[in-house]
Every structure is written in structure tokens, then in C-alpha cells.
Amino acid sequence: MDWSDNDYWEDLERKEKSAILREYRHLLKTISYEITEDDTEEIRKAFEVALEAHSGVRRKSGELYIFHPLAVANIAKVEIGVDSVGIICALLHDVVEDSNMTIQDMEDLFGKKVATIIAGLTKISEIFDQNTNLQAENFKKLILTLAQDVRVILIKLADRLHNMRTLGSMSEDKSRKIASETMFLYAPLAHRLGLYNIKSEMEDLSLKFLEPNIFNELKEKLQKSKAVRTRFLNRFSLPIERGLEKAGLKFQIVGRTKSIHSIFQKMRKQNIPFEEVYDILAVRIVIDSSSENEKSDIWKTYSIVTDYYKPNPDRLRDWISTPKANGYESLHITVMSPGGKWVEVQIRSERMNDISENGYAAHWKYKDQKEEHVVDQWIGKIRESIENQEVHSEDFLNDFRLNLFEKEIIVFSPKGDAITLPANCTPVDFAYEIHSDLGDTCIGAKVNNSLVPLSQTLHSGDQIEVITTRKGRPSEEWLKFAKTAKAKSKIKSFLKSEKKKLSGLGQTILKKELRELGIKPLKENMYKVAYFYNLPSLEELFYQVKSNRLNLNNLSKLKIEKGLIRNNFSKKKDTIITNVGGKAELTNTDDSETSADYNLAECCNPVPGEKVFGFIGDNNQVEIHRVSCPNAVEIQSQKHFRVIEAKWTNQQALAFLSGIKITGIDSKGMVNDITMKISQNLNINMRSINFESLDGYFEGKISSYVTDIDHLNDLIQEISNVKGVDKVIRVDVHL
């Protein structure tokens, strides 16, 4: 075909026009039964504005850009359940950023509500799509915007989901950054808003780009075992169906397969293969029941299920009586199947299932308008935390994110009020949840009328009484056991205000010390001193001086000229580690090469042959991590500006520490057989070895030195062949 042929391009244009109209009509078809003519007209106008604004613009994949807002609008409506205003904003979400139109133009055309949401989306787009390290500060802005109108984040989640679905057109480093950010921030937000389907898909797509080999392997295994799961579901459901029909209940029974990411997390956490993940399939029973009868019908269903299958009493999860903080309601039980496997059964009404699928937006179909939605309450708590400007943004982000995925407990005040808190929280968290002043002045607590330390872990059903005094004050020790973002934020705020007082005194001491050394106490010099001690800020420098935590005698090592510090501590960040082995060779953007020291990260112990990346730490020391490192997602999403590419050099003489765990049936001479395989057949030096045996079962851990990933795999294979060995897996070694 002649690519310059005008007929070809005209034909392509016709096909694209047809495809655009087809997508637009599909969007209208999905909402036609629930919107007015006025809504339809506004949506049509929004589509035309977006079409004009994105005219001729294409995405990285080559597709016309207009397909993106159409897809986002479709996701926002079908998979999240936003209203007509949400659909209009989804269509317009990139217009202000990509054209000459302003927020005022949006207000003139579509009204103030739409303009406010578009302003929020534009602000998020501006701050999140830049290649900067302002993500923690930006995340605070995002949550503040969310608090104005939750549709901002609902549309942003739809936008991010579509970007993840089309991520294949991006370069590997860009796709890894976006996938890490999605796993780190957006999937937890979707979870907190009750959007479980979107959360699961985001996690799976992130895993696809972060661990493509593992993702494809698990996807293939799920596909191969699909027929087996279907047959099992049919056999398992048959007696339950008969029992429910006999009871006169209307119902639907479906199988829900665990997401690939969830399977991978369980395999990694429990060090088990795919075949040993027992709860890959869950059975969901959805009851068609009226609101006044749904609870009784659900418990009736529970009784019928347990008539046929014996339940595990330790695995009952009742989120009917006490829904989760994001509004999730369901009854989860785990029963023993005839084949000897545990099966999770989820029982819920159609209303509960709708909220579970569509989260926040679906709740509005059923809620009493006077009732405050649980997510509104959650957003209010987050706003209260953010309003404290003293807390460092990165601290806020880390604390906030921890609370997104936390399991929850219900505890009670002395008057019997029920309070929802994250699992493993303490009386300090409870105190701050009630009121900031109560937290600031607490000195002790009673749990179930017994005096306990403030670090005591609370459990569901506990009744807590906080003991206070006007002289009480938060302690730095509290940060070690406080769990909620609100408690940590308030404690850090108090400590920071105290630190500020001490910093003023420390600054006076440092200035005096600098003058004695002939150094002018200028801010420029102060910053160089902070850098010299690897401290993040002048305030921290002054505080540590006052606290006598620094050896000020080391200041004599500084090079001083005419009262100014001349030491140049900075290193180039725009580098690529082209060889890792012995000394790292750094290639700068100007193609010049320098050498730098580096460490192999102890959190993952990378060995040659594995995919790795470099991370420039606070002290400018380069750390080498595996791309599958447990900390990789956090590093590449939150601190990506300090991530550099890394490749191994071919230096087989070097040895790298790695660990393996061995389990199996114990027998005489087992340890000797294993050590002989290691030392003789593979010529490997062992650093440590530990074996424990109990009632015929043994478990051993060996740390040894290997040259590369192939050497490690050979070691695992050799030990697997020893008679009596059941499983050999790699584990991290912590020095």
C-alpha cells in the first residue's frame, strides 16, 4: 500500500469518524433510560466541545485523543455510576489543559458545578502529570479537591483506569512509573471508596507492567484451571440452590475468581506456589430481597448453606450488622467443601451487591438524604488532618495511605457510642478520634475497666475510657504505636511546634560555633552544613545542634575561603548506571563517565542477571534494588525522581549473598545430603545454615554466595532433587 495515497488517508478519516460516533452513541445508549432531554442536550454539547478541543490530537498509541474522554465517560457511568454532571465532566476533563478554553468558559457553557469539578480535575492533572517529586504535597491538594466534590476523584479514577488499560504504548520506564503510582495511590483510593472491581483491575494491570512474567504465568494458570473451577462451582452450588428454592427465596449464585494480584500477594506472603492457594474461587449468593427483609433473608441463607457445609467459626465476617467504613455490607463465611477444601461464601442483597460493585455513587440510590454517607465522614476526617499545615506532606501521604487498606474494628466509648477504627489501633488513636484535645492531654486509658498502657492493641468490642490531665502532652514514643493518620498528624504537629522552639536556640548555638571557625553565619553556609550532616532541612539541623546529636568538631573538615564554605557535595542525578559490579560506572547525560560507590539493597539482595534499578538515597549513596523488591512500588511512585536505570556487568568472579528456604520430610542424613549438594556439586560457599525438625517435618534456611541468577536457580534445582525435599524457595537475607 502507498502510505502517501490520499484516498487511504481519506478512508482512514471516514473510519475514525464512524468509530467516534459509534462510541458516542454507545455512551448515550447506556444512560438514555435515566436522564432527561435537557441532560442529553448538555452531554451532546460537552461532546462537541471536547471533539473541537482535541481535534487532530493523537495519543501515544496513534489513536485520536477524543476516544480517551469518551472511554473515561463510559467507565465513569457504567463501572462507577456517576450522574449526568459526572458524565459531562468526564468528557471535558482534559479540555482546559489541552486547548485555549478556560474554567470561566466552562462555567459560561455548563454552569458553576461543572466548572468547579473541571477546575479540580485540571489542577490534579497539572500537578500529577509533571515529572517532579511534589507528589506528597499534590496528594494533599487532591484530597482537598475531593472533599469539595467526590466526583473529582471518581472521574480521576476512571481516567487513570483507562490510562492503565492503554499503557502498552508507553516506554518501559514510563509505564513502570505510572503502574507504581497506580498501585501506591489510586488502587488504595478505589478500595476506600468501595470500588472493588476498579481496585482489582488497577492492581492486576499494575502487576502486568511491574512483573510481566509473573502476571502472564498466573494468567495462564488461571485460564487452564477455569474448567475445573466451573465444575466445582456447579457441584458445590447444587444443594444450596435446592435449599434456597425450597425456602422461597429469589437468588443468584455466581463464582468470583480471586484477582491475579491477590493471588500473587498471597503466594509471596505465605511462600506457597499457585497450586496451594486454596481460596482462588469464592461463591457469591445475591438475594433479591426488600430492604426491610434483607437482613433476615441473609441469615436464613446462612442457615441453609451451613445445613449442607460445615462452617469455620473463626472465619465468620459479619459486615451486615457493622458495615465497613466505606459502606461495604456483606456476610462472609468459610465452609468445608466435600473435596476437603475451604470455600469462602459471600451472602448479600442486590442493594448491597450494587454498592459493592459501584461504591460511593451507588449508595445515593438507596440512602436517606438526611444521613451522612460514611465516605463523607471519612473525607471530613482527612480534611481535619490536612488542615494541620505543620505536618510534612510526605509523612501525611504515608500515614494516609496506611489507613486506606487497613482492616477495621468497632470499639465503644464509656457511653456506648460505637467508633470505627483501623485494626491494631491503640487508646491514643481512640482519643484523637474522639477529639484532638482529648488526645493531646491523655496520660492513660482503661479498656474494659482495666488500666492498660497507651500502646495496648484494641480489639472489636472493647470499651475505652481515656484518662487525661491538663499537664498531659504527646510524646515522640506515641508515633511508634499510633495507627491512624489523624493521630499521627496531631502528634507530629505538637512535636514540630516543640521542635521549632528548640530550633531557635540551636540556631544561636550554631552561629556562635561557625563564627569561631571563621565561617559567616549566612543561610548559604547553613544549607551546606545541613548537607554535610545529611540533614533534610535547616530546622532539623538547628534542632539536632540544640539536642547535642551532632559532632560539631567535624565542621573543621570543611574547606573555607573568605568565610564561605567551598565544599561541593552535590552529585549529578541525571545518570544511568551502565555497569553494576565492583564499582558502578555512571554515564551522564553528556556521555561522560564517572565512578560511584553503591550498595546492594539489603531489603531484596539482588544478584546478577535479575532486572534491577538504582536509587539515590538521602546521602547520595546509590542503592541497587530488584525490580520485584518489596519497596520498589513505593520508591518508583513516590520517589521516582531519584530512580536511575541500572544494568549488570559480566563479572562472574563476584559473589552475591542470597537466601533459600527448604522444607520437607525429615530423615537421617538429610542435612548432610543437602550441604554436599551445595558445596561439592555447585562449589558454593555457605554463609550460614539453620535446620529445625519437628515430628518428622523439617525446615531449613541457608544463606550462600552465588555469582548470578542462573547460579541461584541451579542451586534451587539441585536441592529440589534431594530425596525428601518438598519445597525450595528463595527468601530475602537481612544482614
Same domain, 146 and 226: no
The verdict on residue 548 lying in a domain is no
* pLDDT band at 596; cut points 50, 70, 90: low
Are 612 and 686 in the same domain? no
How is residue 459 annotated by DSSP?
A: -
Domain boundary pick from 364, 388, 404: 364
pLDDT at 597: 59
Confidence of residue 372 (pLDDT cuts 50, 70, 90): low
- SS3 string, 248-271, reads CCCEEEEEEECCHHHHHHHHHHHC
CB atoms within 10 A of CB 123: 19
How many CB atoms within 10 Å of residue 556? Answer: 8
Amino acid occupying residue 473? R
Average pLDDT over residues 221-248: 92
For residues 524-548, average pLDDT: 80
Q: Which structural domain range is residue 692 located in? A: 656-731
Residue 90: pLDDT above 60? yes
Q: Specify the pLDDT at position 582.
A: 39
Residue 542 has pLDDT above 80, yes or no: yes
The angle formed by the CA atoms of residues 496, 501 and 506, to the nearest 5 degrees, is 110
HSE toward the beta carbon, residue 730, CA cutoff 13 A? 20
pLDDT of amino acid 650 = 56
Q: How many CA within 13 A on the CB side of residue 47?
A: 22
Partner residues linked to 689 by β-bridges: 702
Sheet holding 281-287, edge to edge: 251-257, 281-287, 342-349, 331-336, 317-318
Number of C-beta neighbours around residue 691 at 10 A:
15
Is pLDDT at 408 greater than 70 in this prediction? yes
30: region left, alpha or beta (phi > 0 left; psi from -120 to 50 alpha): alpha
Phi-psi region of 606 (alpha: psi -120 to 50; beta: other; left: phi over 0): beta
Query: How confident is residue 620, by pLDDT bands cut at 50, 70 and 90?
Result: low
- Reported as type and span, the H/E element at residue 241 is helix 226-246
Look at residue 583 in the predicted model and tell me its pLDDT.
41
Average pLDDT over residues 65-82: 89
SS3 310: coil
What percent of the chain stands above pLDDT 90? 21
Point out the residues that are catalytic: 97-98
Cβ 8 vs Cβ 2: under 8 Å: yes
Tell whether the model's pLDDT for residue 277 goes beyond 50: yes
* 639 and 662 fall within a common domain: no
pLDDT of 638 strictly over 90? no
Does residue 322 belong to any structural domain of this protein?
A: yes
C-alpha cell of 729? 524457595
Q: Are residues 157 and 282 in the same domain?
A: no
Residue 398 has pLDDT above 80, yes or no: no
Residues 630, 660 within the same domain: no
Terminal alpha carbon distance of the chain = 62
Residue of 349, 236, 334, 336 whose CA lies nearest to 299 = 349
The predicted pLDDT at position 576 comes to: 39
- For residue 511, CA distances in Å to 277, 280, 535, 556 come to 62, 64, 17, 14
Which has the higher per-residue pLDDT, 197 or 149? 197
- Total domains, the chain: 4
Whole-number mean pLDDT of the chain? 79
228 and 323 within one domain: yes
The dihedral sign for the CA sequence 331, 337, 343, 346: negative
Residue 591 is predicted with a pLDDT of 42
Q: Provide the CB-side half-sphere exposure for 39 (13 A, CA).
A: 14
d(CA 42, CA 36): 10
* Cell numbers for 343: 470455600
Domain end (from 648, 674, 706): 648
* Residue 203 falls inside a structural domain: no
Measure the CA angle with vertex 80, ends 286 and 323; round to 5°: 50
Strands (E), 37-179: none
Element (H, E) at 207: helix 196-210
Most confident of 41-55, 110-124, 141-155, 401-415: 41-55
- Cβ neighbours of 41 (radius 10 Å): 10
pLDDT value, residue 731: 81
> Per mean pLDDT, which range of 79-93, 158-172, 400-414, 474-488 is the poorest?
400-414
Give the pLDDT band (50/70/90) at residue 404.
Answer: low
According to DSSP, residue 610 is labeled S
Q: Is residue 334 part of a domain?
A: yes
In this prediction, residue 143 carries a pLDDT of 59
Beta strands 281-287 and 342-349: pairing type?
A: parallel
- Claim to verify: residue 582 and residue 667 sit in the same structural domain: no
In-domain check, residue 379? no
Question: Nearest Cα to 221, choosing from 282, 264, 186?
Answer: 264
Question: Rounded distance, CA 168 to CA 214, Å?
Answer: 17
Specify if 434 maps to a domain: no
SS3 467: strand
Comparison of pLDDT for 534 and 229, the residue scoring more: 229
Query: Is 60 exceeded by the pLDDT of residue 717?
Result: yes
**What pLDDT, on the 0 to 100 scale, is given for residue 49?**
92
Q: What CATH number is associated with residue 227? A: 3.30.460.10
Q: Write out the three cell numbers for 79.
A: 463501572
More confident residue, 324 or 78: 78
- Assign residue 221 a region (left: φ > 0; alpha: ψ between -120 and 50; beta: otherwise): alpha
In the predicted structure, residue 610 carries a pLDDT above the cut 60: yes
Mark whether 346 and 235 lie in a shared domain: yes
Mean of pLDDT values over 326-330: 81
Quick one: 12 and 124 in the same domain?
yes
Residue located via cell numbers 451451613: 306
Place 37 in a pLDDT band, splitting at 50, 70 and 90. confident
Residue 438 C-alpha from the chain's centroid: 31
Name the domain boundary from 329, 364, 399. 364
Among 487-491, 614-618, 656-660, top mean pLDDT goes to 487-491
Q: Is 98 part of a structural domain of the chain?
A: yes
Residue 443 DSSP SS3: strand
Q: What is the mean predicted confidence (pLDDT) over 545-554?
A: 82
Instruction: Sort 241 into a burial class: Cβ within 10 Å, 0-12 / 13-18 / 19+.
Output: middle
Residues 114 and 244 in one domain: no
Q: What is the dihedral of CA 564, 568, 573, 577, to 10 degrees?
A: -170
Contact call for residues 374 and 319 (beta carbons, < 8 A): no
Evaluate whether residue 528 is within a structural domain.
no
Are 674 and 620 members of one domain?
A: no
AA identity, residue 170: M
Reply yes or no on whether the pLDDT at 575 is more than 50.
no
Quick check: 432 and 438 in contact, CB under 8 A? yes
Residues 11 and 115 in one domain: yes
Most confident of 196-205, 389-398, 471-480: 196-205
**At residue 44, does pLDDT exceed 60?**
yes
Q: In the predicted model, is pLDDT for residue 140 greater than 60?
A: no
Question: Which of the residue ranges 21-30, 435-444, 494-503, 616-625 would you say has the lowest mean pLDDT?
Answer: 616-625
Which pTM was predicted? 0.64
Query: Max alpha carbon distance in the chain (Å)?
Result: 95
Q: Above 70 in pLDDT, residue 131?
A: no
Provide the residue type at 23 as one letter. Answer: E
For residue 116, what pLDDT band results from cuts at 50, 70 and 90?
confident
Q: How far apart are CA 418 and CA 478, in angstroms?
A: 24
The CATH number assigned to the domain holding 137 equals: 1.10.3210.10
Give per-residue pLDDT as tens, 155-202: 989 999 999 999 988 888 888 888 988 888 788 888 877 788 899 999
> Mean pLDDT lowest for which of 51-55, 378-382, 427-431?
378-382
